[in-house]
Structure 1
Amino acid sequence: MRSLSSIIFYFFVILTLSHFSTSTEYLKLPLLPRTARPSPSHLLSADLRRLTSPLTSGAATGSGQYFADLRLGSPPQRLLLVADTGSDLVWVKCSACRNCSAHRPGSTFLPRHSSTFSSHHCYDSPCRLVPHPTQQHCDNRSKIHTPCRYQYSYADTSTTAGFFSSETTTFNTSSNKPTTFQHLSFGCGFRISGPSVTGSSFNGAQGVMGLGRGPISFTSQLARKFGNTFSYCLLDYTLSPPPKSYLTIGASPSHKLLSYTPLLTNPLSPSFYYISVEGVSVDAVNLPIARSVWAIDADGNGGTVVDSGTTLTFLPEPAYRQVLAAFRRHVRLPAAEAPAPGFDLCLNVSGAARPRLPKLRFRLHGKAVLAPPPGNYFI
């Protein structure tokens, strides 16, 4: 993987995928940020751990996630999942207890309490779409149901393992009508280990809602019902009162107000959402960054991935150095000591009532421009 550097850059944009639906109904699920804002050094170290191996779910970082409410089972059980466009699998913590008196409501999914739960058989076609433990064994000569076992690993060696299952989900549509989606395939995790998916680092979530491009992701499974379209808008939750962010499945009226950039596909990483960066400017001055810096090479490395599970924006080293040099040329403030390793440009603004900071713009294919306010990349 190429050397990467970071800009503290919260990705508050709308991303719309695939083509529009002709249906007027769509789902609008609130996205909830973590209540405590992590420190810049924590964000950087967490995201760097993620980037030490090929891209995997942001659940492995323990920082900056947004949560989505999922009502699973019959009757519905409410669970809080990490919304992650960087992975495909939907999974929840499961418990096989009978009376469950020791469990808080919503702390785990209880399959015994749902009349619509079933585990996939290991010879069912969905079972071929998930990674399996080495001891997976199917006996096609036996009439006994052999459940499909899955084992999913993250970059920091955290894992979730259990039965790949099917269940009913319940939603309210845009017209506030309750609707159900039957046979959602998901991982019912009975063995969960590792720092990123247990304890406080998981921020109280009960699982991950994979939103990637693979066939087992949440959005792919609901695509046909809602027109093969979904979008999410992450607003600035540091405002007071914080505005609500939403995950929208299906085409909403606001889609007509947006500009678009086409998605690219990397055959070696087909689950990720790639976009094409065509150039970068600082204070309207285009930087001389070669187009090859942003390209996906023959080995599947490089390119630009949009990932809700990573907090920071990382740039390839050649682009980052150009941006950093341009910032230093345009800023007129004295330098300050860095609060932690990894921060290359720190400024003393104590004597400036309204400090002027350089304006950063990314030009994307299709004439779309991403121009975040300076408060998104200067803390």
Structure 2
Amino acid sequence: MLRKKSGRCTERAAAIFVSTIYCLAALPRTSDCLAATLSTRATDQTPPFIVDKLQSSQQSGTFTLDTRTVRRALLHVDLHANQGHSHGVRVEMQRIESPCGLQKVEDGRPRDHHKLRCAVHRSSLRAREVGKKLHAHGSKGTKAGDNLPGGTSAGGFTATVAAARGEYLATVRLGTPERVFSVIVDTGSDLTWVQCSPCGTCYSQNDSLFIPNTSTSFTKLACGTELCNGLPYPMCNQTTCVYWYSYGDGSLSTGDFVYDTITMDGINGQKQQVPNFAFGCGHDNEGSFAGADGILGLGQGPLSFPSQLKTVFNGKFSYCLVDWLAPPTQTSPLLFGDAAVPTFPGVKYISLLTNPKVPTYYYVKLNGISVGGKLLNISSTAFDIDSVGRAGTIFDSGTTVTQLAGEVHQEVLAAMNASTMDYPRKSDDSSGLDLCLGGFAEGQLPTVPSMTFHFEGGDMELPPSNYFIFLESSQSYCFSMVSSPDVTIIGSIQQQNFQVYYDTVGRKIGFVPKSCVGRG
């Protein structure tokens, strides 16, 4: 394993090493690639190669939980809720459940506390990744997508989203003729990529690899282009652009940075095509990506899907995530363009903040947290971005379990403990969470304090199912938030059964409570 060292000579050697590995992986093109002249743009950092619905009643700031409704609810989501727009849709999307490689029980299914422990671990890695990206991004950036070729008009697309290993999958089509790929939807990363042939190192996926020479609209990006220079570590293979992209758990993808046509289902039932979409054609992909074909980057950096297609979607997208306990057959909608704008009453809008050190993430201003109707004694600065770009508060669909900055988590956990003293603790719980209430007989329901996030611009009052998860295997209820070193991340469990709307042009996030459950 390579270790980080200072000095530009080491940087260049590191970049050449990565590119050489990529070249060797891209057989049978080895001879051409080894003869390439590799060049890297000057940077002050060395690439870090591998681094370690519930029924509720609210009384006096408390809720009584009832999980029985969640397990039986097979409701319909009617996205004609967008009837105020000319592009309303009704979508029912598949939620896919994956065991994360955890221990199975007799029937071949993982126990729910094993799945939750896996989610806690992934979410903690995500919090560490935020800090690591401070070193990867710096303050550079480009305006990708401002000059998008083609005459596609703004409107709305929809993509099928499904949960897998705590993530969500979207179906997209690439190439001409188009090929279908299932990619992980990630608001915490920018680059979109899929596994490509020839592949030196590829993990197992259900679909076949993307084959560049079978697409008539495929072309490689040239070195020195705005998008190529927008990569964290832009490199060149002779005259074409090469990318290298890593994630907080040590997984990575490297290969050619390319253009091709992307096709998605139009909200009026017609296919919508956008030419010259830039994405990674991964010839060396290492790690675990839940068997997905790649990543759909929905961050707000210059390479992301929303940024590249800004002239198509006007920077608008939204999702509505089903309950974490919902059956795998339940669905979640992901919308782009005008159809993404929520029209339900009571939408709260909060401003997006800019962190030039990490342009990817969706930062917001959180002023405080209330538990049981009482505002906790937490300084508002505990939620803010500090002078060097660390900490802050982020909305992120790729984090399952909400991360609270250390001192914030201590206060919240203390308040939750004090308000639930009537219930025994599940001391042998292995979910990885700090507070689990145990000893529940059939039909017995706990009463838990209410919880509210006070954002600058509006309060987010959480239903109890968004912060206490019922684990049937241990008959316990666990508080689904954990401590992080410094950053606060509002994760997908806390966002479930809200329509969450992102507007990168208007610089705001909107949210409104809504049943997200589709037809079972």
TM over 0.5: yes
CA–CA distance in structure 1, aligned partners of residues 121 and 324 of structure 2: 21
Q: How many residues align?
A: 336
Q: 1:239 to 1:46 in 2, by over 3 A?
A: closer
CA–CA distance in structure 2, aligned partners of residues 93 and 31 of structure 1: 24
Q: 1:64 to 1:192 in 2, by over 3 A?
A: same
CA–CA distance in structure 2, aligned partners of residues 36 and 241 of structure 1: 9
Question: Post-superposition shift, 1:30?
Answer: 7.0
Question: Post-superposition shift, 1:65?
Answer: 0.6
Correspondences of 1:1-379 after superposition (within 5 Å)? 24-25=86-87, 32-36=94-98, 39-55=115-131, 63-96=165-198, 106-132=207-233, 136=236, 138=238, 146-193=239-286, 195-196=287-288, 202-236=289-323, 238-240=325-327, 242-252=329-339, 255-257=342-344, 258-331=347-420, 332-340=422-430, 342-351=432-441, 353-374=444-465, 376-379=467-470
CA–CA distance in structure 1, aligned partners of residues 341 and 230 of structure 2: 34
| Structure 1 unmatched ranges of 5 or more | 1-21, 98-102, 139-145, 197-201
Cα distance per residue 1:177-203 (max 9 Å; x no partner): 22211110000011112x33xxxxx22
What is the letter of the counterpart of residue 327 of structure 1? M
Structure 2 residue matching 1:49: 3-state secondary structure: helix
What is the letter of the counterpart of residue 87 of structure 1? S
CA–CA distance in structure 2, aligned partners of residues 315 and 244 of structure 1: 28
Residue pair 1:27, 1:249 contacting (<8 A) in 2 also: no
Of the two structures, which has the highest relative contact order with CA contacts closer than 8 Å and spacing of 6 or more?
Answer: 1
Q: Once structures 1 and 2 are overlaid, which stretch shifts more, 170-179 or 251-260?
A: 251-260
Bigger proportion of residues as helix: 2
Structure 1 residue matching 2:123: 3-state secondary structure: helix
Residue pair 2:167, 2:398 contacting (<8 A) in 1 also: yes
Question: Post-superposition shift, 1:172?
Answer: 2.0
CA–CA distance in structure 2, aligned partners of residues 334 and 157 of structure 1: 38
Structure 1 residue matching 2:326: 3-state secondary structure: coil
Residue pair 1:276, 1:364 contacting (<8 A) in 2 also: yes
What is the letter of the counterpart of residue 310 of structure 2? A
What is the letter of the counterpart of residue 343 of structure 2? K
Question: Post-superposition shift, 1:278?
Answer: 1.5
CA–CA distance in structure 1, aligned partners of residues 317 and 414 of structure 2: 37
Structure 2 residue matching 1:363: 3-state secondary structure: strand
CA–CA distance in structure 1, aligned partners of residues 243 and 89 of structure 2: 29
Residue pair 1:83, 1:211 contacting (<8 A) in 2 also: yes
CA–CA distance in structure 2, aligned partners of residues 219 and 151 of structure 1: 21
1:19 paired residue number: none
Structure 1 residue matching 2:414: 3-state secondary structure: helix
Question: Post-superposition shift, 1:29?
Answer: 8.1
| Structure 2 unmatched ranges of 5 or more | 1-83, 100-113, 134-163, 471-520
1:4 paired residue number: none
CA–CA distance in structure 1, aligned partners of residues 464 and 403 of structure 2: 17
Give the TM-score normalised by the residue count of structure 2: 0.60
What is the letter of the counterpart of residue 382 of structure 2? V
Question: Post-superposition shift, 1:27?
Answer: 8.9
Residue pair 1:77, 1:106 contacting (<8 A) in 2 also: no
CA–CA distance in structure 2, aligned partners of residues 120 and 25 of structure 1: 34
Cα distance per residue 1:25-80 (max 9 Å; x no partner): 589987654413662222222222333343579xxxx9411001010011110001
1:5 paired residue number: none
What is the letter of the counterpart of residue 378 of structure 1? I
Structure 1 residue matching 2:302: 3-state secondary structure: coil
Residue pair 1:27, 1:172 contacting (<8 A) in 2 also: no
Give the TM-score normalised by the residue count of structure 1: 0.80
Q: 1:118 to 1:342 in 2, by over 3 A?
A: same
CA–CA distance in structure 2, aligned partners of residues 27 and 180 of structure 1: 18
Q: 1:370 to 1:217 in 2, by over 3 A?
A: farther
1:8 paired residue number: none
Structure 2 residue matching 1:318: 3-state secondary structure: helix
